[in-house]
């Protein structure tokens, strides 16, 4: 029997701020504006947004994966997004992602695996075995937030395809539809958006395929109907609206590495010792409700592997993490 021992990022349920506090969105946004932080939420985030009741409930078991920080309010996590297929502005996805058709949804599996083909989403995700994981996320622009995801471990899905001995890497592709995704008319990146992991990274217990957040179905702007969550890497590695998976023997292309390899490496592990060419990664600004909703937003030192070193540091033993950034 497999017993998962608590790690440094595991806390008891009563260590987590109640949901009622998380949803105090107006107070959070007012505090954010008053703080005068370097990160400005779009105007859309200050307007009244759809409450979680607009999204179907998902039944999910508590997983034990959580962190000490309070979670970002629903309004902020659903209105402040990077999803360039809908535009480069942080508020663009919330305004335009309603065009994305998420039902029916299929995922095509290719490459070095014994069970390739096209699968319906319902054949990949066991909706009777969903779990909630509360993960800390770190963006390359030096801010962080905590989000409660609902989904299943990535490894449990990848194993269904029976990757063979040549499968050293796994690559993911976002849906690419000009009709549904107006941002793809512009060559901001090479479409479709693509990301990848080494196979041992993908099979680690931490990576997660999310189909919901806050116990409800994932909104389109957050990557519906299925997205990747890799909490020890910078946010752009957590690819949204996955439509294709490919197993390969060689390191695959990734969108931001293709666009600017100097700034965005394949691994993209959170590492305070490796500076982005245009800013430091040594500290981060925490996005979330602050105590009493007053005072400046918290800034703290960036943790190696975003605080998940106990679970993932062994994957990179002996590697030069400055060179392999």
Token representation of residue 49 = 């947004």
The proportion of the chain whose per-residue pLDDT surpasses 70, expressed as a percent, equals: 81
Mean pLDDT of 57-77: 91
Residue linked to tokens 């796994």: 170
How is the chain split into domains, by residue range? 13-316
SS (H, E, C) 146-168: EEEEEEEEHHHHHHHHCECCCCC
Q: At the fourth CATH level, which superfamily is domain 13-316?
A: Oxidoreductase, molybdopterin-binding domain (3.90.420.10)
Comparing CA positions, the residue from 300, 286, 243, 299 lying closest to residue 121 is 243
Distance CA 228, CA 157 (A): 12
Residue 156 has a CB neighbour count (10 Å cut-off) of 16
pTM: 0.83
274-283: long-range contacts at Cβ-Cβ below 8 A with a sequence spacing of 24 or more? 274/321, 274/322, 274/325, 276/140, 279/141, 279/142, 280/142, 281/140, 281/142, 283/142
219-248 tens-digit pLDDT: 999 999 999 999 999 999 999 999 999 999
């Amino acid at each position: 029997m497999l017993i998962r021992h608590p790690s440094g990022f595991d806390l008891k349920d009563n260590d987590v701020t109640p949901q009622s506090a998380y949803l105090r969105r107006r107070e959070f946004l007012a505090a954010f504006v008053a703080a005068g932080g370097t990160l400005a939420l779009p105007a859309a985030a200050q307007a009244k947004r759809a409450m979680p009741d607009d999204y179907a409930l998902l039944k999910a078991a508590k997983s034990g994966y959580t962190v000490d920080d309070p979670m970002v309010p629903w309004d902020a996590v659903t209105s402040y997004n990077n999803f360039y297929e809908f535009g480069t502005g942080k508020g663009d996805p919330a305004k335009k992602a309603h065009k994305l058709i998420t039902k029916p949804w299929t995922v095509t599996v290719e490459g070095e695996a014994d069970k390739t083909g096209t699968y319906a989403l319902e054949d990949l995700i066991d909706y009777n075995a969903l779990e909630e994981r509360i993960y800390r996320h770190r963006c390359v622009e030096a801010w962080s937030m905590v989000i409660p995801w609902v989904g299943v471990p990535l490894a449990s899905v990848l194993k269904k395809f029976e990757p063979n001995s040549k499968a050293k890497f796994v690559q993911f592709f976002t849906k690419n539809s000009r009709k549904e995704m107006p941002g793809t008319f512009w060559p901001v990146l090479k479409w479709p958006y693509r990301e990848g992991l080494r196979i041992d990274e993908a099979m680690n217990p931490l990576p997660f395929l999310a189909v919901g957040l806050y116990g409800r179905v994932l909104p389109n702007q957050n990557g519906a109907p299925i997205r990747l969550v890799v909490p020890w890497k910078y946010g752009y590695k957590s690819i949204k609206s996955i439509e294709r998976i490919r197993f390969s023997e060689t390191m695959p292309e990734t969108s931001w590495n293709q666009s600017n390899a100097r700034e965005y490496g394949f691994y993209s592990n959170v590492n305070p010792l490796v500076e982005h060419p245009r800013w430091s990664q040594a500290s981060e600004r925490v996005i979330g409700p602050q105590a009493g909703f007053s005072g400046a937003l918290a800034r703290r030192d960036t943790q190696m592997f975003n605080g998940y070193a106990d679970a993932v540091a062994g994957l990179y033993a002996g590697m030069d993490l400055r060179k392999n950034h």
